[in-house]
Amino acid sequence: MPEVPRADLLLRTGLKQQKLSVLVSLPKVLAATNSKENLVTILDAIKHVWKKGEAENDVDIINEVFTCLQNLASITCDGKIITYPMTSLFEEFDAMMRQYHEEKITAVFLLTDDQVTKQLLPLVLEFVHELQVKDHAEVASHCVAAMIPRLSGSLKKTQIIRIGIEKGDVSQGAGSRLICCLILGVLTASTLLSEQDIDGLFFQKVKVMAFQTLLSLYDYFPPRDRRDVILPVVAEILEHPPSYLISPLARLFGRLAFKLFTLGDFTSDHIATFQACYTALSRSDSPDVRLDCARNLPAVVQAFGPAQYSPHLDDLLQAFTQDTSEPIRRSVVSGLHEVAALLGPQRAQRYLKATSLAVFKDESPTVQGHLIACLPSFVPTICTGVDDDTKNTYIDAMLKAILHHHTILAAGRWREQMAVLDALRHFPTFVSSTQLFERVCPLLFELMNAGARPVQVEAARVLVAVNRDNKITANRVNVLLRLRKEYALGKNFWQRTLYLDACNFACDCYSHQYFRTNYLDPAIDLLEV
Using DSSP's 3-state secondary structure scheme, residue 170 falls into coil
Q: Check pLDDT > 90 for residue 29.
A: no
- Cβ atoms of residues 397 and 353 within 8 Å: no
- Cβ atoms of residues 355 and 318 within 8 Å: yes
Using DSSP's 3-state secondary structure scheme, residue 75 falls into strand
- Cβ atoms of residues 493 and 501 within 8 Å: no
pLDDT band for position 327 (cuts 50, 70, 90): very high
pLDDT of 497: 85
Q: What is the pLDDT of residues 134-185, one digit of tens each?
A: 677 778 777 777 777 777 665 556 666 666 656 555 455 655 556 666 666 6
Q: What is the pLDDT of residues 182-225, one digit of tens each?
A: 666 666 556 555 555 555 555 666 677 777 777 777 888 888 88
Burial (CB < 10 A; 0-12, 13-18, 19+), residue 119, is middle
Nearest to 334 by CA among 305, 306, 362, 307: 362
Torsion of CA 138, 139, 140, 144, to 10 degrees: 100
Q: What is the pLDDT of residues 443-481, one digit of tens each?
A: 899 888 877 888 888 988 999 898 888 899 899 889 888
| CB neighbourhood size of 482 (10 A) | 14
pLDDT band for position 101 (cuts 50, 70, 90): confident
Rounded distance between C-alpha atoms, residue 148 and residue 318, angstroms = 57
DSSP codes of every residue in 232-297: HHHHHHHHS--GGGHHHHHHHHHHHHHHHHHTT---HHHHHHHHHHHHHHHT-S-HHHHHHHHHHH
Rounded distance between C-alpha atoms, residue 490 and residue 500, angstroms = 12
Rounded distance between C-alpha atoms, residue 398 and residue 381, angstroms = 14
Positive or negative torsion for Cα 164, 170, 176, 180: positive
pLDDT of 88: 63
The percentage of residues in the chain with a pLDDT greater than 70, rounded to a whole number, is 85
Rounded distance between C-alpha atoms, residue 69 and residue 146, angstroms = 9
Q: Provide the CB-side half-sphere exposure for 179 (13 A, CA).
A: 33
Q: Check pLDDT > 60 for residue 353.
A: yes
Rounded distance between C-alpha atoms, residue 434 and residue 339, angstroms = 29
Q: How far is CA 71 from the centre of its chain?
A: 44
Q: How far is CA 465 from the centre of its chain?
A: 39
Rounded distance between C-alpha atoms, residue 519 and residue 513, angstroms = 10
Q: 327: which strand partners?
A: none
Rounded distance between C-alpha atoms, residue 212 and residue 208, angstroms = 6
